[in-house]
Amino acid sequence: MIQEIIDLVYTQGANGWRTSLPLAMLLLAVTTYTVTILSYLRTKYIHGESQEPPIIPYWLPGLGSTIPFVRDTKGFIDNAVRKWGDSTPYTIKLAAFKGYLITQPEHFGPLLKATRFLSNKKVMAELMRDVFGTPPNVMPMYLGDNSGIEAKPVPGTSIPSHQRIWHNQHVDSAKYLTGDVLRGLAARFTSTLSEAISKADPNDPADSGEWVTIDDFYPWWRARVFAAATTSIFGPHLLRLNPTLEQDFWNFADSIPTLVKRYPAWMAPRAHAARNKMIDSVKKWHAHAREHSDYSISGDDAPKWDEYWGSVWLKVRQRWGQATGTMDDGGLASEDLALAIAANANAIPMAFWYLVEIYRDPALLSRVLPELEAAVISPAADNTPAAFDLSPVLASPLAQSIYAEVLRMRISLLLNRCADHKDHRIGPWTLKKGAYMTLPTAYIGYHPKAWEPYTDGGKAPIDEFWAERFLVPDEAKSAQTEDAVSEKKEPKMRFSTEHLEGIWVPYGGGALMCPGRHFAKQEMMGSATVFAHYYELEIISGKAPPMDEKYYGMGAQQPAEKTPVRIRRRHGGWKAAGNGQSL
């Protein structure tokens, strides 16, 4: 009897706990949400001077918005703006940390230009560690360099000149991705791509000279552009030494959204294995290049391209890294792996989108093809690659407008800035030193009010592709035309991103703007030019595929679905024509 009573009491107690614990947790969550809503309203509407922006309300005490932000960043941002509007910056509580979400168009430009006070050093250092695998012994150089990017170090800092990594990267990127070096690099890319695809592949139906269907155009074109871009920057031996590099590269790129969330190897073994394989490939190439070519011969008089190192810039990077006294083989490999991602992971998907948008619209294609054909200076003939001069394409208002529109729609970055030295003010709000400021380009690139003047009076909605969005009347040329014919005609148009500061930001802004943007532009437009010379294309659905939201905030968005096409080779097909001659 006594035992039965004890068992009954125990059972009732256990059942009570099972009932009361969830209720207690629910009550705690509701209380937390109510308190944070009241705090949000008080801060937003009754804030004082030097106050931080209001905290986005959350349910989980201690964790804040960590789970929804990490699990679905796009959904979190969209939901926050839908609920709370975008009239003010917001503070996001992420467990023990906090950051600021900036969605107001008027703040993007000033924040991105304020590089004297704000930097992306902190997030870039963390990316080098978490994504690119920089060894722990090298990380203090990244994290400790607070001297800024300018030639004159930030006052009060004492970083030795040979370890000022941010300044060095800024200067060298500007030097080797502009001017004559850039033109040489772009010319090598187009010639390498042209030479590669001038040789018809008898195992590829697309090279037969007949119309054929390809199940998915993206990987087909991606592989060809990747090989040309990698060879033009790194030379031929990185690919030769690592035959699976192209697939390894995209396996790693697909792992970046996982690695950036800092999952340890036991939770994300495939992502870490993909990163490690790429690092090993770069190490193998470095060792081979050092064995066959002296990287120290990399001054201004050195050849701008080397068979083993590729662009002279890679020799300069190797020389500087060795001179730091801190970089080891792992650190050097991580640096060049980051460069490979910067050079390929954005430009190559964007080259795909550029082609898709042109070829899915026959009317647009008929206008663009003459612009691309103007770049051909020597057509392909008798297995001789075509030669190109991209100047006419790069100067074409329409081709440039398509380029800018593709970037607006398909680049999604979470631009991060941090006040390294003191608090920063925007309007009435104070952004605390050391906290991240996150500026989502995908949100601002579709901001209806900011882009309203660029919708052709509402006929070209901002969520739809419009090839002419970045064209404006060229008043000078229009006036010359009118004088010549003594009658008014349709105005001449020119490409322009004027007055779009802070809302067209696919490369960031200010002094920290992506240094590779000029090469990326030539890679996109150059690859389309080469493709159009060798192939004809039809997008079967007539539509662009949706974007894969997995890559939100990571740069160029990749297609979420296959893109079936009909394709026919124009020059040098392997299949015999009716007259017995090759096409």
Strands (DSSP E) found in 527-570? 535-539, 554-556, 565-569
Residues 183-188: contacts with CB within 8 Å, 24+ apart? 184/304, 184/305, 185/232, 185/233, 185/311, 185/519, 186/390, 186/519, 186/522, 186/523, 186/526, 187/390, 188/232, 188/305
Q: How crowded is residue 420: how many other Cβ atoms within 10 Å of its Cβ?
A: 16
- 55 Cβ neighbours under 8 A, 6+ residues apart: 36, 39, 40, 43, 64, 90, 91, 92, 93, 98
User: Of 489, 460, 459, which is closest to residue 474 (Cα–Cα)?
Assistant: 489
User: Of 319, 294, 311, which is closest to residue 234 (Cα–Cα)?
Assistant: 311
Which residue bears the tokens 């500007």? 174
User: Of 535, 550, 465, which is closest to residue 217 (Cα–Cα)?
Assistant: 535
Distance CA 18, CA 15 (A): 5
Distance CA 170, CA 177 (A): 11
Q: Would you put residue 61 in left (φ > 0), alpha (ψ -120 to 50) or beta?
A: beta
What 8-state DSSP symbol labels residue 508?
A: B
What string of DSSP letters covers 256-311?
A: HHHHTTT--TTT-HHHHHHHHHHHHHHHHHHHHHHHHS-TT--STTS-SEETTTEE
| 514 is known to lie in a ligand binding site | yes
Q: How crowded is residue 238: how many other Cβ atoms within 10 Å of its Cβ?
A: 25
Angle at 215 between CA 212 and CA 216, to 5 degrees: 115
Residue 100 host element (H or E): strand 97-101
Distance CA 531, CA 525 (A): 10
Annotated binding site for heme: 514
Which residue positions form the known binding site? 514
